[in-house]
Amino acid sequence: MQTIYFDHAATTPLDEQVFEAMKPYFCEEFGNANSAHQLGNNAKVAVEEAREKIAQFIGAEPAEIIFTSGGTESDNAAIKGAVAATGKTEVITSPLEHHAVLHTVEAMKRSGVKPVYVEPDERGIISAQKVADAITERTAVVSIMHVNNELGTINPIKEIADVCHQRNVPFHSDTVQSVGKLPVDVNELGIDLLSISGHKIYGPKGIGVLYMRHTTPWMPWMHGGSQERRRRGGTLNVPGIIGLAKALELCEEHREEHTRHFKNLRSRMVDGLQSKFPEAISMNADCDDCVPHILNMSLTDDDGNGVDGEMLLLNLDMEGICVSNGSACTSGAVEPSHVLAGIGLDEHIANSSIRISFGKNNTEPQVDYFLDKLQEVVSRMKATA
């Protein structure tokens, strides 16, 4: 049985070329980039080259790049660092952010921080006007993601950044799902703090970047050694850093080609879904507002009720197909994802959703296989209902 992986928004396989670039830094060039000897220096040179490369891809200065353990740490560091440095007490964000942002701001309530949530429109998009309306003199930072990881929707980042700057408020964007897929230039978009994760772009897990504009008020969150100019303590993950830089280079080199490929797979998928399930499929985000590699839909039965999303996922998994669904098992109970609930989707429809996220190695025959298997699985579920 073949395995078909349509869950690239969750994680991506490491690119072979990335693996090759990382290999020497495990066993041969294993030095600590902060050591004064030859091996340490070799690691440091490689890290600084990687830093320069990454900075260039996002239009930043190398000194504005801080290596972290991933998207979650970068989101925590951006928000906590801006709050600490400004001494202000409100953080503006949206209910559709990743938990790395939402749980961070909720946890900060304990130290007197007030999260201010800007509601999305019915498509799941955050308007710059609503952000402008929420800003007060107490606003420490605004944090709005570029691309939503469940829906694929794209927020108007430049407009949001503009309203933040008019009010002199730092702007953070979680670009974990957009870097390497959309053009992301911190100056063109006006982003002051930005989060990147290696494993979403065919790079390694456990490595990320926090971009911090040098004029942005920000204080270190993680203390320890003097690494990263005392902005993030901890021995540098040298192979991870080399891998992240190589992964970003490859994604940038092939970005347009990948976009064309994803558009083609998406239209084949959407056409197939509409012809096989004309009544039963509803899209949870409009393709025109989204990145082409993420597709979120719900499936209903003959009575218009949402099918059991957990069962659907399990049955597809038995056929070798990996996708995600829009529910999470919290304390034993299945709850709809906060994103689907946040766009006002009925709980049953949200629980019957599946997210398909394409990667560069997916093929048209895989889409066709998926469509056939989905039809078989849905019929099987109907027969046993």
The single residue of 164, 287, 322, 329 carrying the catalytic annotation is: 329
Residue with the shortest CB distance to ligand PMP: 71
CA distance 375 to 369: 10
Is beta strand 90-93 parallel, antiparallel or unpaired with respect to 114-117? parallel
Beta bridge partners of 153: 290
CA distance 161 to 168: 10
The radius of gyration computed from the CA coordinates of the chain, to the nearest angstrom, equals: 22
**How far apart are CB 100 and ligand PMP at their closest, in Å?**
4
**How far apart are CB 99 and ligand PMP at their closest, in Å?**
8
Q: Is residue 342 at the binding interface for ligand PMP, with CB under 6 A as the rule?
A: no
Query: If DSSP codes are grouped into helix, strand and coil, which group holds residue 383?
Result: helix
Report the residue from 71, 120, 170, 204 that binds ligand PMP according to the rule CB under 6 A.
71
Distances (CA, A) of 139 to 143, 200, 217: 11, 31, 13
**How far apart are CB 42 and ligand PMP at their closest, in Å?**
27
CA distance 303 to 215: 57
Pick the stretch among 52-60, 64-72, 151-159, 341-349 that binds ligand PMP (CB under 6 A).
64-72
What residues from 173 to 202 belong to the interface with ligand PMP (CB under 6 A)? 174, 176-177, 197, 199
Residue 131, token pair as written in the block = 């952000």
Report the residue from 72, 351, 353, 357 that binds ligand PMP according to the rule CB under 6 A.
72
What residues from 126 to 155 belong to the interface with ligand PMP (CB under 6 A)? 145, 149
CA distance 196 to 176: 5
329 catalytic per annotation? yes
Distances (CA, A) of 252 to 12, 27, 294, 349: 16, 29, 18, 36
Query: If DSSP codes are grouped into helix, strand and coil, which group holds residue 185?
Result: coil
The position carrying tokens 């830094």 is 25
Pick the stretch among 169-177, 230-238, 276-284, 342-350 that binds ligand PMP (CB under 6 A).
169-177
What residues from 299 to 328 belong to the interface with ligand PMP (CB under 6 A)? none
Measured from the CB atom, the residue of 173 and 362 that comes closer to ligand PMP is: 173
Q: Is residue 208 at the binding interface for ligand PMP, with CB under 6 A as the rule?
A: yes
What residues from 82 to 121 belong to the interface with ligand PMP (CB under 6 A)? 98, 100
The position carrying tokens 């709005």 is 144
Where in the sequence numbering do the catalytic residues fall?
329
Contacts with ligand PMP by CB under 6 A lie at 70-72, 75, 98, 100, 145, 149, 174, 176-177, 197, 199, 208
